[in-house]
Amino acid sequence: MAGEAPAEPGGSPSQVSLAVELLRDRIIDLTLAPGSRIDERLLIDRFGLGRTPAREALNRLAAEGFVTFRPNRGGAVVQPLDFREFEQLIEAHQFCEGMLAHRCRLDAPGLIEDLREIQDRYAATVAARDFLEITRLNADFHMRMYATMENAMIEEFARQVQRRVMRVLNYTYQNELADPSHQDAQFELNLAQHEDILAAMAAGDRGRFAALLVDHGRYVSYRLVHLLERRRVDLVPDWITPGPAPSGD
């Protein structure tokens, strides 16, 4: 079929895509812990992948920033959560959301209806505390708006950023379980922010929409920083690489 990627020996494009999705989900939801080693035998035995799909999946995930290859240190490992990279991720995320705030076509056909459907599923998933699906639907909510820009390059960059943010959010949500009242309040706030964004879009109020979207984007960092400030010793395991210590003034 025209446009379909050629199959490799031992692994069709669909097998490779399924392998990528499976491994990406397990990295995002922290089943495969940051810094943990991944070898082909693990992927074959634990996840039932063929050798070729497993190898190609690792290559693709490396290109996405989820896997890194360390030839002198045991091959492929899950990319650690590095606070120096976290700063860059937050900057990239806020850059994308700021651009979206000004470029999203608020009157795009079917946009509000699609966002409402995603929001309803998102609310049900929040109630069930399915963290991976919460982050997936949150990304879907934002990516539906990016699609209105009709710029495939910007949309792909935003998708890569959203996927990286999903892992940070999964880390945050899992560790917030120690403070359920705070987590409940944060999810309620997040749902309310989505509703306010939808209301501004329905009213065609670009200024309010832009302000709400940018403010909403900041909560990725607010939520993690709050978590670490409250329980820093307990919540920074070995697989998180700290950034450089701040210099004294």
pLDDT digits (tens, 9 = 90+) for 38-76: 877 777 887 777 888 888 888 999 999 999 988 766 688
Give whole-number Cα distances, 140 to 80, 105, 161, in Å: 25, 16, 13
Asked if residue 240 has pLDDT above 90, the reply is no
pLDDT at res. 86: 81
Is 76 or 148 the better-scoring residue by pLDDT?
148
pLDDT, mean of residues 176-185: 91
Tell me the pairing of strands 240-241 and 81-82: parallel
pLDDT at res. 4: 35
Residue 9's pLDDT band (boundaries 50, 70, 90)? very low
C-alpha–C-alpha distance, residues 146 and 151, integer Å = 8
Residue the block writes with tokens 């494009």: 13
Residue 26's pLDDT band (boundaries 50, 70, 90)? very high
Return the sign of the alpha-carbon dihedral for residues 53, 58, 63, 65. positive
Interval 96-147: pLDDT, tens:
999 999 999 999 999 999 999 999 999 999 999 999 999 999 999 999 999 9
The pTM assigned to this predicted structure is 0.81
Coil, strand, or helix at residue 68? strand
Domains of the chain: 13-78 (1.10.10.10), 82-233 (1.20.120.530)
Is 229 or 66 the better-scoring residue by pLDDT?
66
Is 25 or 2 the better-scoring residue by pLDDT?
25
Contact 53, 44 (CB under 8 A): no
